[in-house]
Structure formats: structure tokens, C-alpha cells
Amino acid sequence: MPHRTFGTDEIARYLHLSRADIDRLVKDQDIPFARHGERLVFRKVEIDTWASQRILGLEGRPLADYHEKTSHGARQMLASEAMMPEMIQPEFIGAALTAKTKASVLRQMAALAKTTGRVNDSEALREGLEAREELCSTGIPGGLVLLHARDPESYWFESPFLALHECLIAAEQAVLERQRTSP
């Protein structure tokens, strides 16, 4: 589902607003929405863009009020829950990659990311990873690669996650590098 949508109650929770706030924004046509019969539908990509533009336009006290209102839930969560267990699950860890090239590593990692259930558009993710790798490698010595897209679009993901694979090609390259630099 590349273009996630929300109903009215869902968008109120997503934006940390009351249902009455959403109803007012709809009535005033100050928020992007579509009607599907009697149901209001809010596309996540449009809402994210709209919210970003509104936040960037805030100054002074309104910005402080917005920050206080929207960070309250994060403060409560951080006080009671760790984020990492939610972001990395055992099923997000793949067996050793069989890839032999950088392109095949990116394809296999995008495929693993898709299995998390949190990726809406794995093909767009793979293209974003390729674009990022063209700038410079996200690999670091020791065989660790921190893949991330160059310009990730908000609709690509449902929520944050980490996907891990052991990359034999990186391990082999690390051994060869150590052999090359050893006296």
C-alpha cells in the first residue's frame, strides 16, 4: 500500500489533535482530504507535507506550544518504553547474504526490509538506497553497512525499523583488507 490513508479519528491521533480540531480544519478546508462517499480520507504523504509546512511557518510561542503538545507522548513513551525492541525484531534479522555485488546486496536488503511489514514500497526503497550509495558508501570498516535512502519519502515506511543481514562479501573483503595491510 504505497499511499497509506487515515480516517478522521486516525488522523486526529496521528497529528495529536482533537476530533473537533480535525472537523474544524476540514470545514475550513485547511487540511488536505478527500471524500469517499460519506467517509473522509486523509493521504499520509499529503498530511506529512501539510504538517511540515505548518510547523515550518510557526514562530515564537505557537512553535513552543506545538512542540510541548506533540512531544508529550514521546516523553511518556521514552519514560516507560525502550524504542529499540520495537524497531528490531528477531524476524528483521536475515541469514547470511548470498550477494556478490553491491547491487545485489541492496536488492537483498530491500527484500528483507519488505518482510518487516513496515515498508510500503520496497522498489522505491531499493532505488533510494542505490541513489545514496552513488554519493558515497555507507559501509564502515569491519564489514558494517548502515544502509539508508538518500531522500526517503514518508510513504515508503509505516514506522521505523532496523533490518540486519550478515554480508559474507563484506566479511571476505575485511579479511582481504587485513591481509593486504598486515606486515
The predicted-structure confidence for 38-68, as pLDDT tens digits, reads as follows: 899 999 888 988 887 777 666 666 666 766 6
Alpha carbon distance 171, 176 (integer Å): 9
Alpha carbon distance 107, 109 (integer Å): 6
Alpha carbon distance 38, 21 (integer Å): 19
Q: Is the pTM higher than 0.75?
A: no
Is 165 in a helix, a strand, or coil? Answer: strand
- Domain spans in the chain, listed from the N-terminal domain onward: 5-80, 86-181
165 pLDDT above the threshold of 50:
yes
pLDDT at 171: 46
**In residues, how long is the chain?**
183
pLDDT at 115: 82
Note whether 118 and 158 are within 8 A (CB): yes
Could you tell me where the beta strands, DSSP code E, fall in 14-173? 34-36, 39-43, 93-97, 139-140, 144-145, 164-167
Q: What is the DSSP letter of 158?
A: S
What's the mean pLDDT in 127-141? Answer: 80
pLDDT band at 31 (very low <50, low <70, confident <90, very high): very high
Note whether 41 and 32 are within 8 A (CB): no
How many other CB atoms are there within 10 angstroms of residue 147's CB atom?
18
Q: Which residues contact 122 (CB under 8 A, 6 or more apart)?
A: 110, 111, 113, 114
pLDDT at 60: 63
DSSP 52-84: HHHHHT--HHHHHHHHHHHHHHHHHHHHH--SH
Averaged pLDDT score across all residues of the chain = 75
What's the mean pLDDT in 85-90? Answer: 73
- Which CATH architecture group holds 5-80? Orthogonal Bundle (1.10)
Instruction: Count CA within 13 A, CB hemisphere, residue 108.
Output: 19
